[in-house]
Amino acid sequence: MSHVVSQIPADRSPVLDHERLQVYSVALEFHGVAMSLVPRRGFRHIRDQLERSSLSVALCIAEGAGRTSAKDKRRFYAMARGSATESAAVIDILLVRGVASIQDCRQARALAIRLVQMLSRLCRPAP
Could you report the per-residue pLDDT of 65-121, keeping only the tens digit for each?
999 999 999 999 999 999 999 999 999 999 999 999 999 999 999 999 999 999 999
CB neighbour class for 126 (10 Å; exposed up to 12, middle 13-18, buried from 19): exposed
Which residue type is seen at 20?
R
Return the exposure string of 105-125: e unless at least 16 CB atoms fall within 10 Å of the residue's CB, then b: bebbbebbebbbebbeebbee
Residue 81 near residue 7 (C-beta atoms within 8 A): no
Reported confidence tier of residue 12, pLDDT bands at 50, 70, 90: low
Residue 18 near residue 66 (C-beta atoms within 8 A): yes
pTM: predicted TM-score of the whole model, two decimal places: 0.88
Q: What is the DSSP string of 14-52?
A: S--GGGG-HHHHHHHHHHHHHHHTS-SSS-HHHHHHHHH
pLDDT tens-digit map of 22-66? 999 999 999 999 999 999 888 999 999 999 999 999 999 999 999
CA 40 to chain centroid: 20
Count CB atoms within 10 A of the CB of residue 54: 30
